[in-house]
């Protein structure tokens, strides 16, 4: 039996307690400073307030002030913070992880740099730690997985990525179950980029749902032609961006495309995309979804900014990313939705 400490009691961090505990490990769930009510509720009821199933028996619950105690004797630390907690996690949690204990992050996203590059969160954290004179073995989870379906034991396949395959195999042995299936990859940039890129593109696909509701009524039947067209364009643009990251393999693209699919049909990004497609601007859509964390908005703007900067340096052409640039214009400039359909077409001789 291993000891697994999960830091971040949001939906995905908490969902990972299920395969971790059901695989026979001791599991300690630590809430961030934003998770106090969740931890209090779990202590009182044995359940996350947004799940309809109790945590497996034996999971222990800790407030952030108990982090150091919860880290004692840990064999694995899972980071379950959102993109908005990346700096906090790097500054507050990672320096306190005992030496030699691997970290497994479920946080998805990218940071853009002034020279038009895109950094994965493991890269960002390694840079933060280097400034402190520290290092850590940071691994990450990518792939199509919604928290509530993982809790329901729906069959799920994800990819764990990290620098050392032997470490990844040990982590897989701790986490794999008969419903949680894990591929392994040492291409951290590829897996992490693929699952981050899908966020902005899922929003683009969801726009079509809102547009059709605006045109045909909110209770009209779903229209799949337009969704499929934008899905296809999304995969093309994601493939080009993975090539730009030096990570354009079929496996990486497949992980990203699978995550794109599940995000369109089961994620919060779907909600904001539908509202934008109905005609709301981004401020109105955010107000409508008050309290919903929208990480897709952040990554869309960052990636579009990196593309424009890379174009200035002669490395990319924004015309190759018409969907991304349109999504960015909606978010950054509050432009109305006007999907550039004809720019998606091509000729091949």
Q: Which of 50, 198, 236, 286 is catalytic?
A: 198
SS3 for 236-250, per residue?
HHHHHHHHHCCCCCH
Question: Does 198 qualify as catalytic in the annotation?
Answer: yes
Query: From the CB of residue 6, how many other CB atoms can be counted at a distance below 10 Å?
Result: 28
- Which H or E element spans position 328? helix 322-332
Tell me, what's the pLDDT at 297? Answer: 86
CB 204 within 8 A of CB 273: yes
Give me the residues paired with residue 7 across strands: 30, 79
CB 49 within 8 A of CB 37: yes
**Fold observed for domain 3-186:** Rossmann fold (3.40.50)
The residue to which tokens 């929208």 are assigned? 294
Rg (CA), the chain: 20
Query: From the CB of residue 126, how many other CB atoms can be counted at a distance below 10 Å?
Result: 18
How far apart are the C-alpha atoms of 308 and 306, rounded to whole Å?
5
CATH of 189-344, picked from 1.10.1040.10, 3.40.50.300, 3.10.20.30, 2.40.50.140, is 1.10.1040.10
Q: Which residues of the chain are modeled with pLDDT < 50?
A: none
Residues 239, 242, 244, 249: is their CA dihedral positive or negative? Answer: negative
Q: Where are the domains of the chain?
A: 3-186, 189-344
How far apart are the C-alpha atoms of 25 and 22, rounded to whole Å?
7
Tell me, what's the pLDDT at 277? Answer: 97
End-to-end CA distance of the chain: 59
Residues 120, 121, 126, 131: is their CA dihedral positive or negative? Answer: positive
Enter the tokens of residue 254.
């497949």
CB 18 within 8 A of CB 175: no
Enter the tokens of residue 125.
């954290």
How far apart are the C-alpha atoms of 64 and 340, rounded to whole Å?
47
Tell me, what's the pLDDT at 51? Answer: 97
Enter the tokens of residue 129.
């730690």
How far apart are the C-alpha atoms of 85 and 79, rounded to whole Å?
10
Tell me, what's the pLDDT at 262? Answer: 93
DSSP 90: I
Q: Could you give the C-alpha distances from 91 to 7, 97, 231, in angstroms and in order?
A: 13, 11, 37
Tell me, what's the pLDDT at 289? Answer: 85
How far apart are the C-alpha atoms of 85 and 311, rounded to whole Å?
30
- Which H or E element spans position 270? helix 268-278
Report pLDDT digits (tens) over 117-138: 999 999 999 999 999 999 999 9
Q: Could you give the C-alpha distances from 197 to 119, 170, 201, 309, 347, in angstroms and in order?
A: 12, 28, 7, 17, 26
Tell me, what's the pLDDT at 293? Answer: 63
């Amino acid at each position: 039996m291993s000891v697994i400490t999960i830091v971040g009691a949001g939906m995905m961090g908490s969902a990972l307690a299920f395969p971790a505990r059901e695989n026979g490990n001791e599991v300690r769930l630590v809430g961030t400073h934003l998770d106090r009510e969740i931890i209090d509720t779990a202590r009182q009821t044995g359940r996350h307030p947004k799940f309809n199933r109790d945590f497996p028996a034996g999971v222990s619950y800790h407030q952030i002030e108990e982090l150091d105690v919860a880290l004692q004797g840990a064999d694995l630390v899972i980071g379950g913070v959102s993109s908005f907690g990346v700096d906090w996690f790097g500054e507050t949690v990672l320096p306190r992880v005992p030496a030699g204990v691997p970290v497994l992050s479920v946080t998805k996203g990218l940071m853009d740099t002034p020279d038009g590059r895109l950094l994965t969160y493991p890269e960002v954290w390694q840079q933060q730690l280097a400034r402190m004179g520290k290092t850590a073995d940071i691994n990450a989870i990518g792939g199509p997985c919604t928290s509530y379906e993982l809790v329901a034991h729906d069959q799920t396949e994800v990819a764990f990525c990290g620098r050392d395959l032997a470490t990844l195999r040990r982590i897989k042995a701790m986490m794999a179950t008969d419903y949680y299936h894990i591929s392994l990859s040492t291409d951290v940039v590829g897996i992490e980029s693929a699952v981050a890129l899908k966020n902005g593109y899922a929003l683009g696909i969801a726009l079509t749902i809102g547009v059709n509701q605006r045109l045909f009524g909110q209770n009209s039947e779903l229209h799949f032609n337009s969704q499929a067209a934008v899905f296809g364009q999304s995969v093309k643009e994601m493939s080009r961006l993975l090539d730009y990251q030096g990570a354009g393999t079929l496996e990486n693209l497949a992980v990203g495309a699978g995550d794109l699919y599940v995000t369109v049909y089961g994620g919060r990004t779907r909600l904001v995309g539908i509202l934008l497609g109905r005609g709301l601007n981004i401020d109105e859509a955010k107000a409508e979804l008050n309290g919903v964390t929208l990480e897709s908005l952040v990554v869309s703007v960052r990636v579009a900014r990196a593309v424009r900067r890379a174009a200035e340096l002669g490395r990319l052409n924004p015309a190759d990313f018409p969907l991304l640039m349109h999504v960015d214009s909606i978010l950054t400039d509050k432009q109305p939705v006007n999907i550039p359909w004809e720019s998606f077409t091509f000729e091949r001789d």
